[in-house]
Amino acid sequence: MTEANGMTDEEVRRLSWRCRRGLLELDIVLQRFSEKHLATLTKPELLAFDSLLDLPDNEFLDVVTSRIKFAEVKVLNDKQLDADAMKTVLTKLSGH
């Protein structure tokens, strides 16, 4: 079990598998993010990240690259996610 968020190794593997996408640009971003940050995300950050993974590739990439704001994505708004957690995840995804 990982320390920071209580995720089991199986849960980390499941999320890592979900990081495999169809767009090369997104695959690169997600691979880097997964290696550096996945195991240390908080529960609210995990929920935010899991919700991002539900998005279609192009929309996901648009959110990560700030072409569109996550607040403009209806499916994310409907989930009433922690805005601070989402901002933290997006910052980590963008490499800042």
Nearest to 21 by CA among 76, 61, 67, 69: 61
Contact between 57 and 28 under an 8 Å Cβ cutoff? The reply is: no
Residue 2 has pLDDT above 60, yes or no: no
Q: Does residue 4 lie within any of the structural domains?
A: no
Mean pLDDT of 70-81: 90
Q: Does residue 1 lie within any of the structural domains?
A: no
Q: Does residue 48 lie within any of the structural domains?
A: yes
Distance of CA 35 to the CA centre of its chain: 13
pLDDT of amino acid 3: 47
Structural domain span for residue 36: 9-93
Q: Does residue 70 lie within any of the structural domains?
A: yes
* CATH number of the CATH domain containing 82: 1.10.150.250
Q: Does residue 46 lie within any of the structural domains?
A: yes
Q: In the numeric block, which tokens belong to residue 89? A: 């995840």
Q: Does residue 42 lie within any of the structural domains?
A: yes
Residue 24 has pLDDT above 90, yes or no: no
Q: Does residue 3 lie within any of the structural domains?
A: no
pTM: 0.82
Nearest to 88 by CA among 53, 56, 45, 30: 45
Q: What is the mean pLDDT of the chain?
A: 86
Q: Does residue 27 lie within any of the structural domains?
A: yes
Count structural domains, the chain: 1
DSSP 94: T
- pLDDT tens, position by position, 28-74: 899 899 889 988 889 899 999 999 999 999 999 999 999 999 999 99
pLDDT of amino acid 96: 65
Round to whole Å and give the CA distance between 55 and 73. Answer: 9
Q: In the numeric block, which tokens belong to residue 68? A: 């569109």
